[in-house]
Chains A and B, each alone.
Chain A
Amino acid sequence: MQPLRQLAWTLPEHFILSDFHSALNDTFDLKPGRTSKHNRSWYDTFDWRLFRNKRLLTREGTRWVLYDFHGNTLQSLSSRRKTCRFFRDFPDSSLRDALRKLLDVRALSELGAEEVQSTELCILNRDKKIVAFLELQTSINRDSGERLHTVRLQEVRGYSKWFRQTADFLQRFGVRKQAGPDENLRFLVQGSGREPLDYSSGYNVPLEPQMTGIEAVCHIYRSLLESMHRNEQGVIEDLDTEFLHDLRVAVRRTRSALALIKDVLAPEVSDRFKKEFRYIGQITGPVRDLDVYLLSEDDYKARLPERLQEGLGYFFEDLAARRKREQRTLVHSLHGSRYKQILADWQQILDLQAELPAGKKGELPIGVLAGKIIHKRFRRVLRDGRKIHPGTPDSELHRLRIEGKKLRYCLEFFASLYDREQMKQLIRQLKILQNNLGDFNDLSVQQEMLAGYLSQIRPGTRKSRELAAAIGGLMTDLADRHRQVRTHFEETFANFAGKKNLALYHSLFG
């Protein structure tokens, strides 16, 4: 069966409802339908996870509705809780399942709110039968007070001729282009300084090969600094874990660029800011470390038999309490003068642009510099990786992981200078190696942390017994996985250092 058609238009700004009404009345036999007035808020994550997946989420009172971009309701539910930030705050439902996939660990925040006044008009035929529905909607932006008028035309099955006639009439009346389903959202965020897809946690700073080194790094640093600024408030308000994560990634990328793209900035500048950004890395570290554990609570629990799970509960309660303390310290540091000074000074330097104190390679084109830098990093990864054999101490693998990360950042910084598909392929290949090394590292760090934690448990109570048993169980599981990941390393590295991959690196950067 053919789905029913629905069309929507935006009405001209000077639009007067009564004029429109009387014009309609002259042409059609009309019957007034329902009228309604309600408040509606729109939601998405900071990085537009819903919008990116062509989804829109609204709340009217306690009723939440998830739409697709055609305006169809996908899921809806009424929740007694008025504030639902994470998917897990929603009651068990298909909406919650959908949001779990879409939002993952990110929180929802309100993008804007509107008062919606809607009037339905039914178009009748000679038998007084409804043959098409018109809905006139006025949305009033709660913040700006601005108005957006839309008209929606809904087909009634079996009366397509009327649908066409009404659509023709509306177009003659001067309705503006078809209002996209996301038009309402764009209208609501107007004035809030935001617009759809204005933030993504991915890295994307396009460079041109003929740019000088100094111009290119300036682009990179400015975009990374902007990312730090944009995530700052979310970190302070502790909206979700990803603000801090993204801020730290921007800091780490900046530090890597300062270290890896050598002699482009004057050494006194890069040396100073390497230290400065290390400081920011340090003050943001403890909360993130705890976040990583807290985010994997469910995964940890699933690895233990039910009998030990309660003990693990105590462990996570303890971590959550520690995180609370660390978060306070972090907010204090972010409000502190050193942090503010670092970012302000860095901004000032980047604003100098052409007069930026250059190093000896600052004037060389980035197209020339990039290949050399990437090739060097690649050779380093190969050299270190080839030295590893089954008896190598863990610390060597950790070193290799750091080298891999440096290569990864360089590939990302300069990806726009090369063929997109080939770069994608290289990054994908490197990611497989890094996942192995990253898992290996995480498991080492976690085991150490648990061992440290275990040694601090004061014995004697039932609670501490259960806690110790749970930690012990977890350590066994981690050690087991640690061994497994280690045995996969050789194969993973052999793939990375395979002929095809080598040839690609040499042809692109050699």
Chain B
Amino acid sequence: MAVIAVYNIKGGVGKTATSVNLAYLSACSGKKTLLCDMDPQGSASYYFRIKPAKKFTADALLKGGKVIFKNIRGTDYPNLDLLPADFTYRNLDLALDDFKKSTQRISKILKPLTREYDHIFLDCPPNITLLSENIFTAADMLLIPFIPTTLSMLSFEKLLDFFKRTGINRKKLYVFFSMVEKRKKMHLDMMARFAGRKRVLRQSIPFLADVEKMGIYRKPVLEITPNSPASRAYRNMWREVERILAKKIP
């Protein structure tokens, strides 16, 4: 069992595309997989054409237990389930604050799910809040998509700093380059600086129209164009992630 969170403090860096495609690949390999959409925008839920039930709100989520199971939905693909996000999730932080041991609430909610699934993916909202801290604690692996620019670099350093201060294990962190444009020299320079470093995935995800088609077809890119460069990149990345997970969780 492994919990894999896809996170970045910044928005629009390809978090949801990564969660959706990697979760899909995990399910394809025969692993029972759950994707939890934690982002109030509900993009992952949208890609799978799933709407949450009216009663399923931030409060219901934090209550945990049976209500979670009741709100899990099967996607169109075998082995892949989704817990949809509700717009009330925008207030998750406030709600979390009311709990004792407020940084461990999400871990506690996920506990019963770990008995049912081999892999749980968390698609996280962009910010650094109490919810993020909860997710850092709950995850076995934190995947951070990272556009190779100076600004991203800055936000990554902030995150490292945050980990140091809060005492969360930094070995969970894995970075990869996302939305890479090969024709931009800055992207290539930035990537060269990071190449070969520990906890930087070798595979990066190019900036491609294929990935954007996901919004039109409302499907994982691997379903729309299974042989496209984008699909190949996700497949390679998943293999790399699987290898890391096998070492982490024997």
Measured CB to CB, the residues of A under 8 A from B are 1-2, 4, 122, 127-130, 155-159
**Residue B240 at the chain A interface, CB threshold 8 Å:** no
**Residue B86 at the chain A interface, CB threshold 8 Å:** no
**Residue B212 at the chain A interface, CB threshold 8 Å:** no
A4 to B74 Cα, complex, angstroms: 10
Q: Which of B49, B69, B70, B72 has the most CB of A within 10 A?
A: B49
Residue in chain A with minimal CB distance to B115? A1
A215 to B196 Cα, complex, angstroms: 90
CB distance from A65 to the nearest CB of B (A): 14
Cβ contacts under 8 Å, B116 to chain A = 1
- Given A1-B69, A1-B116, A156-B74 contact (CB < 8 Å): yes
Chain B, interface SS category: loop
Cβ contacts under 8 Å, A157 to chain B = 72-74, 81
Number of interface residues of B (CB under 8 A): 14
Can you name 29 A-B residue pairings with CB atoms under 8 Å?
A1-B69, A1-B72, A1-B116, A2-B69, A4-B74, A122-B76, A127-B49, A127-B50, A127-B51, A128-B49, A128-B218, A129-B48, A129-B49, A129-B50, A129-B76, A130-B76, A156-B73, A156-B74, A157-B72, A157-B73, A157-B74, A157-B81, A158-B50, A158-B70, A158-B71, A158-B73, A158-B74, A159-B73, A159-B74
* Choice from B49, B72, B76, B218 contacting A158 with Cβ under 8 Å: B72
A159 to B116 Cα, complex, angstroms: 19
Cβ contacts under 8 Å, B48 to chain A = 129
Cβ contacts under 8 Å, B76 to chain A = 122, 129-130
> What are the 5 tightest A-B residue pairs by CB atom distance, in nearest-first order?
A157-B74, A158-B73, A129-B49, A156-B74, A130-B76
A155 to B116 Cα, complex, angstroms: 17
Q: From residue 59 to 107 of chain B, which have CB atoms closer than 8 A to chain A?
A: 69-74, 76, 81
A128 to B219 Cα, complex, angstroms: 11
CB distance from B225 to the nearest CB of A (A): 19
Cβ contacts under 8 Å, B50 to chain A = 127, 129, 158
Cβ contacts under 8 Å, B73 to chain A = 156-159
Q: From residue 87 to 140 of chain B, which have CB atoms closer than 8 A to chain A?
A: 116
Residue in chain A with minimal CB distance to B218? A128
A1 to B218 Cα, complex, angstroms: 27
A2 to B72 Cα, complex, angstroms: 11
A122 to B75 Cα, complex, angstroms: 12
A2 to B74 Cα, complex, angstroms: 13
CB distance from B51 to the nearest CB of A (A): 7
Cβ contacts under 8 Å, A1 to chain B = 69, 72, 116
A26 to B148 Cα, complex, angstroms: 53
Cβ contacts under 8 Å, A159 to chain B = 73-74
A127 to B49 Cα, complex, angstroms: 6
CB distance from B215 to the nearest CB of A (A): 14
Cβ contacts under 8 Å, A127 to chain B = 49-51
A159 to B48 Cα, complex, angstroms: 14
Cβ contacts under 8 Å, A128 to chain B = 49, 218
Cβ contacts under 8 Å, A4 to chain B = 74
Residue in chain B with minimal CB distance to A125? B49
- Given A122-B76, A158-B72, A159-B74, 12 more contacts at CB 8 Å? A127-B49, A127-B50, A128-B218, A129-B50, A130-B76, A156-B74, A157-B72, A157-B74, A157-B81, A158-B50, A158-B71, A159-B73
A369 to B227 Cα, complex, angstroms: 82
Q: Which of B48, B49, B74, B116 has the most CB of A within 10 A?
A: B74
Cβ contacts under 8 Å, A130 to chain B = 76
CB distance from A36 to the nearest CB of B (A): 15
Cβ contacts under 8 Å, A158 to chain B = 50, 70-74
Q: Which of A130, A156, A158 has the most CB of B within 10 A?
A: A158
A1 to B66 Cα, complex, angstroms: 9
A159 to B72 Cα, complex, angstroms: 10
A306 to B116 Cα, complex, angstroms: 46
A122 to B48 Cα, complex, angstroms: 15
Cβ contacts under 8 Å, B218 to chain A = 128
A158 to B71 Cα, complex, angstroms: 7
Residue in chain B with minimal CB distance to A122? B76
A130 to B49 Cα, complex, angstroms: 9
A156 to B78 Cα, complex, angstroms: 10
A170 to B217 Cα, complex, angstroms: 31
A158 to B69 Cα, complex, angstroms: 9
CB distance from A496 to the nearest CB of B (A): 51
A156 to B69 Cα, complex, angstroms: 13
A155 to B76 Cα, complex, angstroms: 11
Cβ contacts under 8 Å, A156 to chain B = 73-74
A122 to B77 Cα, complex, angstroms: 11
Cβ contacts under 8 Å, B70 to chain A = 158
Residue in chain B with minimal CB distance to A156? B74
CB distance from B27 to the nearest CB of A (A): 13
CB distance from A442 to the nearest CB of B (A): 47
Beta-carbon contacts of B6-49 to A below 8 Å, as 1s and 0s? 00000000000000000000000000000000000000000011
Q: Which of A2, A156, A157 has the most CB of B within 10 A?
A: A157
Residue in chain A with minimal CB distance to B113? A1
CB distance from A58 to the nearest CB of B (A): 19
Residue in chain A with minimal CB distance to B52? A158
